[in-house]
Amino acid sequence: MPTSVFAKYEPKAYPHRFAGQLIVSTIAGGIPSDENVAKSWIATKLGTDNEELLRKAVAETMVERGITMEQAADEVNTLKHLNGFKRTADGILVIEGRQLKACLKEAVNVAANAGKITTKGWGNPDNANYKKGVKAWFPEHVFVEDDKMELGHMEDDGLIFPVTEPDQIVQRFVHTPRGTGIQYEETVHNAVISFTCETDYEFTDEQWAMIWLTAERQGLGASRSQGFGTFKVTQWDRIDQK
């Protein structure tokens, strides 16, 4: 992305930035490998049936998934039912920043519903007309900077190595309108994910704790209803603004 002409004012617009790190027990990839399945999946995500837009998005997804037309014919049937991860140009498995943002939004809603954080009264402290409920307010004021976040494995010496292949392909049965089928999912165990979060609101340490502790249990990534995606926050350091 190009640099904004207003970049020098970013520290004033979003003065609170944090470097974070998670370790996810088992994270599942949720992006279809088969082109036709991916097309349907992308159409749902984009909320459009524009053919040209879908073709472009499908092509980009296929490249990022590392799927080629030259794959052996006996793999095709499996690919129709395989969900996995996007990859960088170097083949490193990634998840998208939007997934972590969605995780935080869900955690805030759950935490507020449980009374862990205040539900109402978020916004300008000097003007009651600008107050909002936390569900609408939070996504407007908290952002994950990273477009894509690489998955890593931490060695015993603390060094982190990028993950280029899933640790396991999990098979499970799924129920569809057409009957019961088999779904395959790429998974990575003990995945290390580093990210940067920014906001224009100064949350207290306890408020951040309630949000992240809730998120840890709710999980990140695909198939969370199957128990995937739970994590622990292992780093949350404030970044000094210049």
Which residue ranges in the chain fall short of pLDDT 70?
33-81, 125, 127-129, 172-183, 242
Q: What does the pLDDT read at residue 5? A: 94
Instruction: State the pLDDT at residue 27.
Output: 94
Q: What is the DSSP letter of 117?
A: S
Residues forming a β-bridge with 181: 174
pLDDT score at 70: 47
Burial class, 229, CB count within 10 angstroms (exposed 0-12 / middle 13-18 / buried 19+): buried
Helix ranges (DSSP H) in the chain:
10-13, 35-46, 51-65, 76-79, 97-113, 134-141, 205-218
Look at residue 79 in the predicted model and tell me its pLDDT: 47
The pTM (predicted TM-score) of the whole model is 0.76
Tally the residues of the chain. 242
Q: Which of 195, 204, 198, 194 is nearest to 240 (CA)?
A: 198
- Give 74's DSSP letter: G
Q: Are 45 and 25 in contact (CB under 8 A)?
A: no
Alpha-carbon dihedral sign for residues 2, 18, 225, 88: positive
Name, in order, each residue with C-beta under 8 angstroms of 96's C-beta and a sequence gap of 6 or more. Answer: 86, 147, 148, 149
The pLDDT mean for the chain works out to: 81
Q: What contacts 190, CB < 8 A, 6 or more positions away?
A: 23, 24, 25, 26, 153, 154
CB atoms within 10 A of CB 24: 24
- DSSP assignment of 14-71, as one string? S-EEEEEEEEEEEEE--EE-SHHHHHHHHHHHHT---HHHHHHHHHHHHHHHT--TTS
Instruction: Work out the angle between the directed axes of helices 97-113 and 134-141 (0-180°, nearest 10).
Output: 150
Identify the pLDDT of residue 195: 97
